[in-house]
Chains A and B, each alone.
Chain A
């Protein structure tokens, strides 16, 4: 008990020291960054779990790309399950065009009575009215739409909406529907109509991409039996989803986002660990004299250890409590930032993230304060006589290894999968190794140059070389901190600008789909009459790849998600006599226009993911009939051109006997909506997809996600600053002491400033160099692998990195040691010694 009182008394004094504050702030940032993301992830997870049945609006759902087969209906009746149906597909809808109302692409959803079986549709009578649970489904002859659609086509509740061949009355505003988590309303707003009206719209034609849902609810046992009945018997394009796997792409996307945010949060933890290690070392060093004295007075090693450990523990627990509380507050900000993106209501978080955050705080504390504490325990009593006797303790080295191992384990745990975790750990370790190597080389190179410098400069540079170990740690820590800052500011702006610049102003911004073969000439005339370039029209036939080299395609055999998806679904095939101008052959040869041989040309990306090579034979199934042809060329496609392009193109004649619809793209100057309105009016079956709206939506979502990521990176930035501060503070005592001695020996203010400046400037420049190199390398990788846009090296980054690093660190360093310049030397020597 006495020991605790003594430790607490010592803590009261030590808590005011710089290193105790650095330790507290570093731990606080680490705990806060992790808990912020964890609390948010926990809420999303709870929302997904709690509302799992709502997410599919049923207990189980059959999803198919063909109308629901009778076998499903029969089995549902046999199992006494409640059922409902929903068919979704995209189509153009329009208001009263004579009265200036517009057209817009919509995601139609025809539903039967009883939908949804689980959850509720929330509707309102007019924009701004109180939302209420919908009773039933839209009556025949009416639709429910979200407010955004009405705003876009300048219509209101009560107006008529043209949907295909029908005019349906807008009866209510959709506020929320159960089976949607992510908000895609901005791209194609939902239009809900009664299933009885679907046939009347005459929209279900060749090439219509509809998803059919057969919803089921009832006794869990009956639902399970329904699933069992079809286990292993489902055909291609059919799948059954239950509550357990009510996840699909939404869940995968959210999990991936959480994982990424989690790793971003870990960057702060890694940086914070550097600050903790630096501060703990300084803290222990300052305790060495008292520890030696206590040893002289009879304190055991265990006493020394526990007295100091209790102090660290108090600090750590305080950091964990404050950090967790602050993390809880900050997750609200994160949730608000992504609120436009998530439509689910997020429930309150559980306590698990608080425990995780506390665990991380304590692991950091133990991992990086134990080594200096263990050294402190071994302090020699001789130190009372000779201050320069530093203890060496092999156990402390081992503790550092343990600390790093724990940190690595932490990263792998947070990454959620061993491979990703190992990549992250490998990334951090190699970044540190490269920074260390570069730092070491640079220090030695600078030391070689010192002969050319004048007195004080030479002394400053030599000083850096003399403190090589300490300087290296400082350069690495400062480099990491600066890198975080560069990435968050310049590189982020560059990447987003680069991605936005890749969209050229005259690129096609409208896709027209669903054009029937008998409308081709009229569509061309429509554009010609408006003095617009006659767009190229490409045929599309929906088909499914079933065999490669006569071997059946097994979707589950692919590891790649995209390959799995592609092999499961139908996708569009086209044919052409000549290759599109923006395509490029990368293997084989494109056929001559008069060829009679059956051939395929495959886009290189899909060929790679599906394992298709030149000369392979591909077998397609189109509406039940099969045909086979040989791959004679592989193409590179510029998808960024926004022109209609196809993964697989067949030679002329191959697809002649199959029903086709046509697609084209064109550039519509801003504000010229009459072209689209007229087109839709003349050809009600065609759909015009507004790419500008999609791009804007994607941009909005990207910005929201980027903001959220930046928010999490702010912790890394803060941690970087703490590292900078800790790194400068780590050697401050030494510098102040050196300065006081130099002052005694007659150094002028200018000389002392120059010595300090030379050393800090050199350290700053070197860390700036490492930070610029690192952030540009990372930007190139991010740009290439994540955004798919080549990164234009911005020479301002090394310039600002090196100049900012040099000037910033020099100023910070000078501020840190200014005291020594203006204080009488004896006062400084007494204070430090």
Chain B
């Protein structure tokens, strides 16, 4: 990860330029993300760390185009995310991005298999069912494909969420506290799974986490404090 000042074509999968998110409350205006400016190289693993309420999840949401900034730009694969409308951003996500939520966010009315099939079906992929089965098999849930989220444990639900995020083979995967709702052992297993998939498929991983162990496994670290983002690579962080 390097600072950037140019808009030229690059090897960067994500470029964040002067990104700001402000929210008005009844008393004052809160700056949640303040002029964040950095790049992410393809294949990187990035941990976004910071205290609670520092703006980590908001930054992640903005980078994935799930939320809109007050100012600034985000480029994914050199496409200006906020020059696109909501529909264009959705399309881009469908093509390039996977997302894992802290609280899984599976659709309760769909089975595990259907949840994983959904992004493929939306993209009009023909063999959605077999690809979904294969990735569910990869995350160790081949016996649970017909179960509804309600019938699955927290760890199993998160595995379905990870399978759903990876099934479209995205270049970029965002994960918001992927182990936040899981016990330590299950959490570790999840992270192993994420990193395995990252290695197997060359996916760029951007994770929001409180977990120092997880942050340590990432190649780069992005710290956010009161909306101000600072970047450091792993080696520097280790030395600190």
Contact = CB atoms under 8 A, between A and B. Distances in A.
Interface string A820-833: 01101111010001
Nearest to B101: A829
Given A744-B66, A749-B86, A826 B61 contact: yes
B103 A749 contact: no
Contact of A827 (B64, B67, B92, B150): B67
Contact of B87 (A467, A741, A748, A827): A748
Interface stretch (B24-32, B72-80, B116-124, B224-232): B116-124
Interface string B81-121: 00000110011111101010101010111100000001101
Given A466-B110, A824-B66, A746 B105 contact: no
Contacts of B168: 746
Contacts of B105: 741, 744, 829, 833
A826 B66 contact: yes
A745 B67 contact: no
A387 interface: yes
B42 interface: no
B37 interface: no
Contacts of A387: 103
Contacts of A825: 66
B103 A826 contact: no
Contact of B68 (A385, A467, A751, A824): A824
Nearest to B93: A746
Nearest to A822: B86
Nearest to B58: A826
Nearest to A468: B109
Nearest to B105: A741
B220 interface: no
Contacts of A751: 122
Interface in A281-312: none
A429 to B, nearest CB: 29
B154 interface: yes
Interface in A198-238: none
A826 B67 contact: yes
A144 interface: no
B103 A833 contact: yes
Contacts of B92: 746
A827 B62 CA distance: 11
Contact of B121 (A459, A466, A824): A459
A456 B87 CA distance: 16
B107 A738 contact: yes
A824 B64 CA distance: 11
Interface in B100-155: 101, 103, 105, 107-110, 118-119, 121-124, 149-150, 154
B220 to A, nearest CB: 23
A744 B107 CA distance: 12
B10 to A, nearest CB: 24
A749 B107 contact: no
B95 A741 contact: no
B158 to A, nearest CB: 12
Contacts of A743: 86, 90
Interface in B161-216: 164, 168, 181
Given A751-B122, A826-B61, A744 B99 contact: yes
B94 A746 contact: yes
A455 B61 contact: no
A749 B67 contact: no
A745 B96 CA distance: 10
A38 to B, nearest CB: 44
Contacts of B124: 455
Contacts of B118: 459, 742, 745
Chain B interface size, as a band, is 20 to 34
Nearest to A467: B109
Nearest to A751: B122
Nearest to A833: B103
Contacts of A745: 93-94, 99, 118-119, 122, 164
A833 B164 CA distance: 19
A773 B110 CA distance: 33
A822 B89 CA distance: 12
Interface in A445-491: 455-456, 459, 463, 466-467
A825 B68 CA distance: 10
Contacts of B91: 746, 748
A157 interface: no
A763 to B, nearest CB: 15
Contacts of B68: 824
B123 to A, nearest CB: 6
Interface string A726-751: 00000000100010011111111111
A314 B97 CA distance: 49
Nearest to A821: B86
A71 interface: no
Pick from B61, B103, B108, B122 the residue with the most CB of A within 10 Å.
B122
Contact of A455 (B87, B103, B121): B121
Contacts of A741: 105, 107
Contacts of B66: 744, 824-826, 829
A746 B107 contact: no
Contacts of A829: 66, 101, 105
Contacts of A504: none
A386 interface: yes
A376 B66 CA distance: 33
A388 interface: yes
Interface string A800-833: 0000000000000000000001101111010001
Contacts of B181: 385
A746 B122 contact: yes
A744 B91 CA distance: 9
Given A745-B164, A826-B61, A826-B66, A388 B119 contact: no
A466 B124 CA distance: 21
Given A744-B93, A747-B90, A386 B154 contact: yes
Contact of A747 (B97, B122, B154): B122
A607 B171 CA distance: 89
Nearest to B67: A826
B87 A749 contact: yes
Given A743-B86, A746-B122, A824 B109 contact: no
Given A741-B105, A746-B94, A829-B105, A824 B67 contact: yes
A750 B87 CA distance: 9
A734 B103 CA distance: 16
A738 B105 CA distance: 9
A268 B77 CA distance: 59
Contacts of A833: 103, 105
Contact of A463 (B87, B99, B101, B109): B109
A627 to B, nearest CB: 81
Contacts of B93: 744-746
Nearest to B153: A386
Contacts of B61: 824, 826
Interface in A368-420: 385-388
A821 to B, nearest CB: 8
A825 to B, nearest CB: 5
Contacts of A821: 86
Contacts of A826: 61, 66-67
22 contacts: A387-B103, A388-B149, A455-B124, A734-B108, A738-B107, A741-B107, A742-B118, A743-B86, A745-B99, A745-B118, A745-B122, A746-B92, A746-B93, A746-B95, A746-B119, A748-B94, A749-B86, A749-B87, A750-B87, A824-B66, A824-B68, A829-B101
Given A741-B105, A746-B92, 9 more contacts: A388-B149, A455-B122, A467-B109, A742-B118, A744-B66, A744-B99, A745-B119, A747-B94, A824-B67
**8 tightest Cβ-Cβ pairs between the two chains A and B:** A746-B94, A826-B66, A745-B119, A826-B61, A826-B67, A466-B109, A749-B87, A746-B93
Interface of B: 61, 64, 66-68, 86-87, 90-95, 97, 99, 101, 103, 105, 107-110, 118-119, 121-124, 149-150, 154, 164, 168, 181
